[in-house]
Structure 1
Amino acid sequence: MTVNPGHFPRSEEALPDDRFLDREESWLRFNQRVLELAEDPGLPLLERVRFLSIFASNLDEFFMVRVAGLARRMATGLAVQSASGRQPREVLERTASLAHALMLRHAACFRGEIRPALGEEHIEILRWDELAETEQERLRRLFRDRIYPVLTPLVVDSAHPFPYISGLSLNLAVIVRDPETEATMFARVKVPPLLPRFIEASPDRFTPLEDVIAAHLGQLFSGMEVVEHHAFRVTRNQDLEIDDDISEGLLQALERELLRRRFGPVVRLEVEDTISEGVLDLLTTELAIDEGQIYRVGGPLDLAGLAAIADLDRPELKYPPFVPSKEAIAEDASIFGAIRERDVLVHHPYDSFTTSVQRLVEDAAADPRVLAIKQTLYRTSGDSPIVDALIDAAEAGKQVVVVVELKARFDERANIAWARKLEHAGCHVVYGFVGLKTHCKLALVVRQDADGVLRRYCHIGTGNYHPKTARLYEDFGLLTADPRVGEDVSALFNHLTGYSRQNSYQRLLVAPNSLRSGLVQRIEREADNHRAGLPARVRIKCNSLVDEVVVDALYRASQAGVPVDVWVRGICALRPGVPGLSEGIRVRSVLGRFLEHSRVFAFENGGEPEVWIGSADLMHRNLDRRVEALVAVTDRAQRADLVELLDLAMDDGTRSWWLAGDGAWTRPEPAEGTAPLDIQSHLVRSRRWRTVDA
């Protein structure tokens, strides 16, 4: 860094140009941490298999969105120097180099560690030649009955052009020879995506689907000689580009773009390292890619399919079973009475989503005293009880308003289906603002209580209304009947569904108008408090920290002497521990059984901590191009417990990764004779870790 360790710049002085880490590299370092979990022999074996699968699917999305987006901007001349100071081509080259190294490491982990370890547990993933004759015979029958009918070999010759290769499809490149003319031809066979990735040859013995197809290529090319065959896979640009034209229905525009997205340009070609140069040259030419987009790895490809192996019924090879607590709201109590009595803070998956958030919507749908329900939906499950409850409420004559975000990445088709289902049931479905994604997590229930008072019951959360992911994602939610929150949430829904210009709220911070400025003002207040000799500290928990304005505010707070703790899951552009710039900042990351997903912002505030939870990450898209909401937690005990949790995550004795100023992440080993605290296991054991003011 270029900062003088003995000099602390005043707030109006320029900060060093090289103060930001590259976001693309930071994301790859996050996925490297996922891979390190797969490499960790201390984890249950099938959980390591699952992390291998997660790594692969994460990397697919990274190429489809981030790499593809950068390549598209470069092609159109719109790419600019990144905040880290790197030119676009340098970012792309460094990204490709690191991604290739990680893919090789991923393949080596599977072949050198996971596959042998599975074999020791009598779960085997075998190539065709390793199968017993009886197993091969069984798979021959399977091929004839279930696989052969859906295969379509496509030959390339003067009359047949090179076929379109769909994104993320697994394929076989086949060279066949005509024994009469000695002419050779290229053919492509697509591996059917709806069949299992790994075919069970016999109980707990599996082989890749492409191996089964390759063993029967003679049947597909009858009378021809199969010279060679190789698996390959392409990744295409699958980011959505919607022209936000008010004159056109967003639903129809999105459906058209989903069709167009299938034909995006290729950004990655994966091939097994045994591929011949001749076949690789042909693929490279026909797909119009360069050497930097080719990724040679040891087979099999597409290890995202290992999720099915991780799902095997072998509980002794998985995390111990865990049942969420149902104590947040007593099962025999009225949920409305419980929320009227006090704010309820729930922490998923440790607290049951079903008996708290889902119950609020379901009870509201069935309660004759409820007049209206308003809800935002960003992502939900295919069999969502939340959606079913909203439909029941509408059919019962209640006013139901649902703000559906159609452009929730990779959930677009599901959200279109749910939007239409809700509309057909009589719900008022709104698609939010043109140019802004509606990402806030809000539910509002309007109820005429027995005392005749019309009250508003609200839920403001950090995660989606998704019952399945609520068992896997770590999130907070606040259930409250505070009239101030009710007024705020009502005003925000009016803003989402109408043309309200509401910009100020009582217990909410809302993006894009007040969230960034509200956080920066509070960070600056901590610096002022420190200068005045008052207690000062900033604690943040988020998925990503990229926004330069917020990062700079944290740097200046650190320069003023304010301790800053950042608990981040994924991307972090901030350089911690740099003399003169950020030596008072620590950045830690926790990955494990549950996906850390909540966003919490705590400010010491002179000894009376102020704590906020909500939907917003510290990224440009969240603060500028999304509707996000944070809510202030006002219960003293709940605030104290949230601060205690943040401190526990940052404790040196807690198992975590630590970020250095150069962007490297390390996972310190515990001192001899000590065992690090796994914070997620700790919360599972404690189950109810909060107290509530009487």
Structure 2
Amino acid sequence: MTEAPPLGADKAFNRELSWLAFNTRVLEEAANPAHPLLERLRFLSISGDNLDEFFMTRVAGLKGQQLRGVEELSIDGLTASQQLGPIAAEADALVVAQQAEWLVLREALAENDIEVVAPDALGKDEAEWLRGHFREQILPVLTPQAIDPTHPFPFIPNKAFSLVFLLKRGRRKEPVTELLMIPSTLPRFVELKGGEGHRFIAIEQAIRAHIDQLFPGFEARGSGAFRILRDSDIELDDEAEDLIRYFRSAIQRRRRGRVIRLEFSADTPPELEEMVRTGLSAKDALVNESSGLIGIADLSMLVEVDRPDLKFTPFTPRLPERIAEHDGDIFAAIRAKDFIIHHPYESFEAVVGFLRQAAADPDVVAIKQTLYRAGKQSAIVDALVAAAEAGKTVTAVVEIKARFDEEQNLLWAGRLERAGVQVIYGFVDWKTHAKVSMVIRREGGALRTYCHFGTGNYHPVTARIYTDLSFFTASRRAARDAAKLFNLTTGYVQPKGLELLTLSPRGLRERMLSLIDAEIASAREGRPAAVWAKMNSLTDRLVIAKLYEASEAGVSIDLIVRGVCCLRPGIAGLSSNIRVKSIVGRFLEHSRIFVFANGHRLPNRAARVYISSADWMPRNFDRRVEYLLPLENPTVHAQVLDQVMIANLIDNEQSWSLESDGSYVRSVPGKRHFNLHQYFITNPSLSGRGHSLAGKAVPKLRLTQRGGA
């Protein structure tokens, strides 16, 4: 589909600046005293990792457009060149804020016996231990390289951390320039021995403190540290004859991508900075100088310190009671009634168990599975391998274009193929982003299909920290539609006659627009009209324009958009009936839920409630295979609408309101505090409860009504 024209700055926020605002909210959680200290440090580390990826992908893409002279306009009407300046300024301000927060947290950590110290703060025993440790455990893996006409500047990989030195050699004091890439096998922080508590020194500090061992007989004149970020996006070639071979080659090329950003320590001599920029051919790279810690993301190592008193209180995800009532038989539980699982409060083991049971069940004849991100240790892949080895027909649609997981997915694909799984790699120009699993089982002489539809990935690690929904059903209509989705991805068979699902890249945007149009019609007829929507990002120009139309027709619109939001809320004559909030807290809000009032006040049993794998973004509508699924079972409908959505709307401890000027304002709880994450940790879900919790009421949530809602 042709991209819609820009909405303009008066009607839309810039996507990249909106993302930086989101990462600022992540950073704000590092300063949130409501969180335990090491969790605050984790938020700081996440903000650093997020910013790295932003430069490697989004900024790299804009830089590429600038260099190629591409004049494509952003949603707010700017060229790539016009965007890069404000982005660099905001990113630099974010880095300054990260460094300031690190100083605060560093002091607070020291008060709790976790210290990151400089070489001059070492005790005698610690200094002696570190000198020996450097000699025995660090020095052997270091390889300094002279930079001169016979030693050209080496290739430095993405995210590599390096040191540079100006030295004098011998009696003649000959000048020497040395480069030292710090091996990734070395920990960023070395834990010291010989003192009390947990005391660390950064690896670069440890190295620079032992220059005499690294360069014996040399005199140091100056030194500095730097880190690089490279363009890490993979551009697809529509004419690639072999997609697998192309991606293996592209992954290698990505490691040598153009340098996008250079971070230097503030004490790096100017001549060394110039030497590095020249050696890396990085004259066009964005440069940042920092007097603090380079590579904020590396602070994640310190979060692993064994101090449970400084972390969130652990909780054990619940297993759906209905499965237990059927003696662990997941198929029997699904046959009894559709149910939905709310991760991470309810265990991802139910999803894994669904496939493990399928692999072991002699009556199961076939399994079909999409895999977008599965992690490095995947029980899902293990179950599919076991099923294939047991003689079942197993099909896996492995998306090798999942950014930064391409290499891992190629490894999984190879393992699956060796086990006899039919592996499909999808499309050259589309990504298969839908999260769907089908198990076909022989029952009483006929075949019955059990389906799982997820809003998140089949990833055991993220399932513990992302909030997502897993819907299980034995609906024959859902099964027929799911089969058509798989036929689209495996055989390019266009789905016709869909009964429940709506699929992209053809039809999903149109379905959303028609649902909003129905609310507009209700409002004009004087009936209640409202839209509640929860997603990760909102950037689609056509959907935003339709929401503006709905707002001014009298539709009450509440949007929960965790990350990027290009829509401007609360503007008279444009979006006066639209409210936008973002929730950032202990868990990453990831589920996609869309609710339409359908002529009644929300919440109501007649409301149209959907779950989806798609955000409201052009890529999800036009370049990905996604699904939209209506929830018809009354209990599932009530759980998602009356429980999940209302909890998100009334949360006031982790919420931020988007203002019409683009700023975000943190909610102030007042007399009644409500934390949706804590609520779901402590209260059972409505769906899948079974009879064991019949006597335990779930607290009813109430929302103050707004307008037509």
Instruction: Give your verdict on TM over 0.5.
Output: yes
Question: 1:237-636 counterparts in 2 under 5 A?
Answer: 237-245=231-239, 248-289=241-282, 293-331=286-324, 332-354=327-349, 356-449=350-443, 451-607=444-600, 608-636=606-634
User: AA paired with 1:22?
Assistant: N
SS of 2:192's equivalent in the other structure is strand
Taking the aligned partners of 2:487 and 2:7, their CA distance within structure 1 comes to 41
Q: Which of 675, 679, 682 is the equivalent residue of 1:682?
A: 679
**Cα-to-partner distance string for 1:379-416 (whole Å, 9 max, x where unaligned):** 11222111111001001110000000011111111111
Question: 1:74-93 counterparts in 2 under 5 A?
Answer: 74-93=66-85
Change (3 A) 1:675 1:195: farther
The structure 1 segments of at least 4 consecutive aligned residues displaced by more than 6 Å after TM superposition are 14-17, 691-694
Deviation at 1:16, TM superposition (A): 6.7
Deviation at 1:122, TM superposition (A): 0.4
Taking the aligned partners of 1:49 and 1:291, their CA distance within structure 2 comes to 33
Deviation at 1:639, TM superposition (A): 1.9
Taking the aligned partners of 2:689 and 2:599, their CA distance within structure 1 comes to 23
Taking the aligned partners of 1:691 and 1:153, their CA distance within structure 2 comes to 60
Deviation at 1:454, TM superposition (A): 1.1
- Partner residue of 2:54? 62
The answer to whether the 8 Å contact 2:516/2:546 transfers is yes
Q: Does 1:190 align with 2:181?
A: yes
Taking the aligned partners of 1:175 and 1:123, their CA distance within structure 2 comes to 34
SS of 2:162's equivalent in the other structure is strand
Taking the aligned partners of 1:516 and 1:688, their CA distance within structure 2 comes to 31
- Partner residue of 2:706? none
**Cα-to-partner distance string for 1:520-544 (whole Å, 9 max, x where unaligned):** 1101111001111222111110000
Question: Quick check: 569-578 or 628-637, which moved more?
Answer: 628-637
Question: Quick check: 660-669 or 269-278, which moved more?
Answer: 269-278
Q: Which of 180, 194, 200 is the equivalent residue of 1:206?
A: 200
SS of 1:329's equivalent in the other structure is helix
The answer to whether the 8 Å contact 2:222/2:268 transfers is no
The answer to whether the 8 Å contact 2:223/2:267 transfers is no
Deviation at 1:177, TM superposition (A): 1.1
Question: Quick check: 301-310 or 486-495, which moved more?
Answer: 301-310
Number of equivalent positions: 675
- Partner residue of 1:96? 88
Change (3 A) 1:591 1:209: same
TM-score (norm 2): 0.92
SS of 1:174's equivalent in the other structure is strand
**Cα-to-partner distance string for 1:478-537 (whole Å, 9 max, x where unaligned):** 100000000000111111111312144211111101111111110111100111122211
SS of 2:641's equivalent in the other structure is helix
Deviation at 1:619, TM superposition (A): 1.1
Taking the aligned partners of 1:145 and 1:304, their CA distance within structure 2 comes to 27
Change (3 A) 1:146 1:654: closer
User: AA paired with 2:60?
Assistant: A
Structure 2: 5+ residue stretches without partners: 1-5, 601-605, 692-709
User: AA paired with 1:659?
Assistant: L
User: AA paired with 1:455?
Assistant: R
Deviation at 1:622, TM superposition (A): 1.2
- Partner residue of 2:666? 667
User: AA paired with 2:303?
Assistant: A
RMSD over equivalenced CA pairs, Å:
1.8
Question: Quick check: 492-501 or 389-398, which moved more?
Answer: 492-501
Q: Does 1:152 align with 2:168?
A: no
SS of 1:539's equivalent in the other structure is strand
Q: Does 1:120 align with 2:111?
A: yes
Taking the aligned partners of 1:485 and 1:668, their CA distance within structure 2 comes to 40
Structure 1: 5+ residue stretches without partners: 1-13
User: AA paired with 1:118?
Assistant: L
The answer to whether the 8 Å contact 2:322/2:688 transfers is no
**Cα-to-partner distance string for 1:287-321 (whole Å, 9 max, x where unaligned):** 34458711122322112111121122211111111
The answer to whether the 8 Å contact 1:199/1:209 transfers is yes
Question: Quick check: 640-649 or 125-134, which moved more?
Answer: 640-649
Taking the aligned partners of 1:52 and 1:164, their CA distance within structure 2 comes to 30
Deviation at 1:654, TM superposition (A): 5.1
The answer to whether the 8 Å contact 1:636/1:693 transfers is no
Change (3 A) 1:26 1:328: farther
Deviation at 1:242, TM superposition (A): 2.5
Taking the aligned partners of 2:635 and 2:215, their CA distance within structure 1 comes to 72
The answer to whether the 8 Å contact 2:259/2:285 transfers is no
TM-score (norm 1): 0.94
Identity of aligned residues (%): 43
